[in-house]
């Protein structure tokens, strides 16, 4: 807790001064985060111990993890920019729950810098995980949509489509896997035709994968050929 408030105060003080890294206070050239902090951010590279499909831990003898074996995920695979850990999870928390909208550019830049190293091609369509309109009113923005900031400036060919969240679902945080699946079922609507399209779903944090799997299911119902999930952080 003390570390948390220390970190908060530090961020508050430094965010106003763009020429200093918001994580370590080193002077930078107009970057919010310095090169050393950027390279030290946690990212779990794929290995024989990670599931190629959902990035969960598995034994080297298994082809896919138990999770993928037991659950019929509707996406092809998950690609993550970072692991869900300090300090990025705190920065995201500040953005989502304390209205620190000034962190969106940083998170978007970090997101695309790491994702672009892991992909071979760009999708036809991008769909950020939508928030229910009630939640959107309270928060004022959708963090998954905000992650697209950098991408929109670089690529004009990929279509960005809005899905609708018609169920104001309970927080998934304290629910079991089965309860999460039940909670999120039929929560999304997509009106666009996705016939034959390569679709990417953007989410800030993927935990069990039930939300993005349900949205992937709707994409497939609309005709999508292939659905991938690109997230800022993968919580395992």
Nearer to Zn ion, 25 or 133 (CB): 25
Nearer to Zn ion, 71 or 158 (CB): 71
Angle between helices 2-14 and 88-97 (to 10 degrees): 70
Q: Which residue has the tokens 């969240």?
A: 165
CB of 126 to Zn ion, least distance (A): 23
CA angle 108, 113, 119 (to 5 degrees): 115
Does residue 56 interact with Zn ion by CB under 5 A? yes
Does residue 51 interact with Zn ion by CB under 5 A? yes
Interacting span for Zn ion (CB under 5 A) from 14-22, 116-124, 134-142, 206-214: 14-22
Does residue 74 interact with Zn ion by CB under 5 A? no
CB of 145 to Zn ion, least distance (A): 27
- List of residues 6+ apart from 218 with CB closer than 8 A: 163, 188, 189, 190
Please select the residue that binds Zn ion; options are 37, 79, 122, 175, rule is CB under 5 A: 37
Nearer to Zn ion, 69 or 167 (CB): 69
Interacting span for Zn ion (CB under 5 A) from 44-52, 94-102, 106-114, 139-147: 44-52
Between CA 60 and CA 157 the distance in angstroms is 39
Does residue 24 interact with Zn ion by CB under 5 A? yes
User: Alpha helix locations (H) across 71-140?
Assistant: 88-97, 104-115, 133-139
DSSP of 130-194, one letter per residue? PPPHHHHHHHSS-HHHHTTHHHHHH-SSSEE---EE-S-PPPSTT--HHHHHHHHTT-EE--S--
CB of 236 to Zn ion, least distance (A): 10
Between CA 46 and CA 55 the distance in angstroms is 7
Does residue 206 interact with Zn ion by CB under 5 A? no
Phi, psi for residue 79 in degrees, rounded to 5: -120, 130
Element (H, E) at 231: strand 226-234
Please select the residue that binds Zn ion; options are 11, 32, 54, 148, rule is CB under 5 A: 54
Phi, psi for residue 55 in degrees, rounded to 5: 70, 5
Does residue 21 interact with Zn ion by CB under 5 A? yes
Nearer to Zn ion, 53 or 114 (CB): 53
CB of 221 to Zn ion, least distance (A): 23
Structure tokens at 81: 């920019």
Does residue 163 interact with Zn ion by CB under 5 A? no
Please select the residue that binds Zn ion; options are 11, 32, 68, 214, rule is CB under 5 A: 68
Applying CB under 5 A, the residues found at the interface with Zn ion are 21, 23-24, 26, 34, 37, 51, 53-54, 56, 65, 67-68
């Amino acid at each position: 807790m003390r570390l948390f408030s220390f970190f908060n105060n530090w961020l508050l003080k430094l965010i106003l001064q763009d020429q200093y890294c918001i994580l370590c206070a080193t002077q930078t050239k107009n970057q919010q985060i310095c090169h050393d902090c950027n390279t030290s951010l946690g990212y779990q590279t794929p290995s024989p111990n990670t599931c190629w499909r959902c990035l969960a831990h598995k034994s080297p003898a298994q082809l896919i993890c138990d999770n993928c074996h037991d659950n019929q995920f509707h996406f092809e695979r998950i690609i993550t920019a970072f692991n869900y850990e300090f300090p990025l999870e705190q920065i995201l928390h500040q953005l989502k729950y304390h209205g620190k909208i000034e962190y969106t550019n940083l998170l978007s830049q970090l997101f695309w810098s790491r994702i672009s190293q892991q992909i071979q091609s760009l999708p036809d369509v991008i769909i950020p995980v939508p928030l229910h309109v009630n939640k959107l009113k309270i928060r004022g923005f959708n963090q998954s949509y905000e992650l697209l900031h950098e991408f929109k400036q670089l690529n004009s060919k990929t279509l960005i489509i809005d899905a609708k969240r018609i169920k104001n679902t309970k927080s998934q945080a304290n629910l079991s896997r089965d309860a999460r699946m039940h909670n999120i079922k039929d929560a999304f609507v997509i009106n666009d035709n996705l016939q034959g399209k390569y679709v990417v779903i953007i989410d800030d944090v993927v935990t069990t994968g039930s939300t993005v799997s349900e949205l992937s299911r709707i994409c497939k119902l609309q005709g999508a050929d292939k659905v991938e999930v690109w997230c800022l952080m993968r919580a395992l």
